[in-house]
Amino acid sequence: MRGKPSETCAHVTNQPARFHVKSFGCQMNVHDSERMSDLLMGEGMTAVDSADDADVIVLNTCHIREKATEKLFSDIGRIEKRARQAGPGRGKPLIVAAGCVAQAEGGEIAARAPAVDVVVGPLAYHRLPALVTAARARAEAGGAGPAVVDTDMPAEGKFGHLPARRPTGASAFLTIQEGCDKFCTFCVVPYTRGPEVSRPLAALVAEAEALVAGGAVEITLIGQNVNAWSDGAADFATLLRAVAAVPGLARLRYTTSHPRDMNEALLRAHAEVPALMPYLHLPVQSGSSRVLKAMNRAHTRESYLETLRALRAVRPDIALSGDFIVGFPGETEADFEDTLSIVEEVGYAQAYSFKYSPRPGTPAAAMAGQLDEAVKDARLARLQAAIGAQALAFNKATVGRRTTILLERPGRKPGQLIGKTPWLQSAVIEQPGAKIGDLVEIEIMEGFANSVAARPLVPAAA
Ligand code: 5AD
Ligand code: SF4
């Protein structure tokens, strides 16, 4: 039921509109959502916390695992229903489908859900203001004609077109690289995010400086494959050293990495760069070399373990994290036992585990030996129990350590502040006079499943 002027009046005026961005999925998406917000604010629009108050709603979708598309359509349905309930005076908000589902499905989304006004992929969102303007004009004309679709993967990249960053929190993300050329057989990312593209070193150092000037004390370099970063002249280890040298930056992290690209220079950086925090997220996916081959991972169980041995040799306190997939096509009980045993062997500080989800168009989706959901569920439960036990053991093993936490946000109760240890553990403290962005010396007192208890070592400021 689109197209009646009374239904579209809320978003066709030239008044600055209110927008809401809802983010699904990975850190890249969370970050992309922030950048889309920056773009819309640059147009004089105002961010609102609730979709109910918004004239423009951006749904930034994720396609990595099941039901992503279904989630998008049920969200669209909910928005339409709320708009109907609000009565004719309020009008239907403009709906923007963004992110990886938008990239994968393109115009099909608007064909199936005519309430969608704009479809924009993750490599084209720098054009969002123009797309919204075009969609407004279309709505003003009664909603005739196809929705506005932009799923180009422009060669020049979007980064040069994004506005300057707003002041950030104490811990900021910096996108250094986007896309993936690895083509793991289960993964949709190379199709939705396109080939690997690295941003130039000078631009990244300049953006890191701007983030620190805006209040960042910690920067996390993000991308689908950050350790594959190269701008032709410099490699990833060189980039780490250059960003670590930005005055005022106390902490540096990066995610996500591929085991294949963990080279000697990067290991040395972990030994030699004090700002580089002792934490590494290095997805292994499976402990079975046979399954890893079928996944096209380009590493084996042994080469992964060897990388971690070399890393621990130069940085003994490093905390390790990983990603796992259970129930990949053809995974036998013995393969799964290999996954459980690699978890035992590594001793993760934390890890993420997922049931294999066939992604349309990926090679694994067409493989023989797809497993029953019940088998996947049972394996996932066993793996998560093993990982949970390790996370608890890791947190308990750090009791007694004296270290610093970076205060990042307020806690639940008044006076509380939440910070992170170098090993990415959350700790809540009460320290009158302390504020977000402070590095506070603490002692870890107790270890829990997902956090630690800590006490400040330095007396509170007067
Ligand atoms: N099914 C389940 N998990 C997947 N991942 C990626 N693709 C799939 C899939 N088809 C997981 C991987 C990856 C993480 C981001 O998501 O573990 O590292
Ligand atoms: Fe997906 Fe593999 Fe690329 Fe990671 S490395 S984004 S899992 S294809």
Distance 324 CA to ligand 1 centre (A): 8
283 ligand 1 Cβ < 6 A = yes
Q: What is the pLDDT along the chain (462 residues), one digit of tens a residue?
A: 333 333 333 344 455 699 999 998 888 888 899 889 999 998 999 999 999 999 999 999 988 887 778 889 999 999 999 888 877 666 789 999 999 999 988 989 999 999 999 999 999 999 999 999 999 998 888 877 888 999 888 766 677 777 666 667 899 999 999 899 999 999 999 999 899 999 999 999 999 999 999 999 999 999 999 999 999 999 999 999 999 999 999 999 999 999 999 999 999 999 999 999 999 999 999 999 999 999 999 999 999 999 999 999 999 999 999 999 999 999 999 999 999 999 999 999 999 999 999 999 999 999 999 999 999 999 999 999 999 999 999 999 999 999 999 999 999 999 999 999 999 999 999 999 999 999 999 999 999 999 999 999 976 554
At 3 the pLDDT is 32
217 ligand 2 Cβ < 6 A = no
Alpha carbon nearest to ligand 1 atom 2, residue: 356
Alpha carbon nearest to ligand 1 atom 14, residue: 323
339 ligand 1 Cβ < 6 A = no
Residue of 298, 278, 280, 277 whose CA lies nearest to 289: 298
Look up residue 96 and give its two tokens: 């923007």
255 ligand 2 Cβ < 6 A = no
Look up residue 397 and give its two tokens: 């093993």
Look up residue 141 and give its two tokens: 């004309």
Say what the pTM is: 0.89
Distance 248 CA to ligand 2 centre (A): 33
Helix boundaries (H) for 86-127: 99-105, 108-112
Q: Of ligand 2's atoms, which has the minimum distance to the CA of residue 296?
A: 2
Distance 359 CA to ligand 1 centre (A): 10
Q: Of ligand 2's atoms, which has the minimum distance to the CA of residue 64?
A: 1
Distance 398 CA to ligand 2 centre (A): 32
Instruction: Select from 225, 286, 323 the residue to mutate for testing ligand 2; criterion: most ligand atoms less than 8 Å from CB.
Output: 225
Helix boundaries (H) for 174-263: 189-192, 201-213, 236-244
Alpha carbon nearest to ligand 1 atom 9, residue: 357
Point out the ligand nearest to the CA of residue 62: 1
Residue of 248, 172, 234 whose CA lies nearest to 203: 234
Cα distance between residue 143 and residue 147, in whole Å: 8
Cα distance between residue 145 and residue 353, in whole Å: 43
Domains of the chain: 5-150 (3.40.50.12160), 159-397 (3.80.30.20), 402-456 (2.40.50.140)
Residue 379 near residue 387, CB atoms below 8 Å: no
405 ligand 2 Cβ < 6 A = no
322 ligand 1 Cβ < 6 A = no
Cα distance between residue 409 and residue 418, in whole Å: 5
Cα distance between residue 344 and residue 342, in whole Å: 5
356 ligand 1 Cβ < 6 A = yes
321 ligand 1 Cβ < 6 A = no
Q: What DSSP string describes 290-332?
A: HHHHHTT-S--HHHHHHHHHHHHHH-TT-EEEEEEEE--TT--
229 ligand 1 Cβ < 6 A = no
Point out the ligand nearest to the CA of residue 260: 2
Residue of 143, 150, 74 whose CA lies nearest to 114: 143
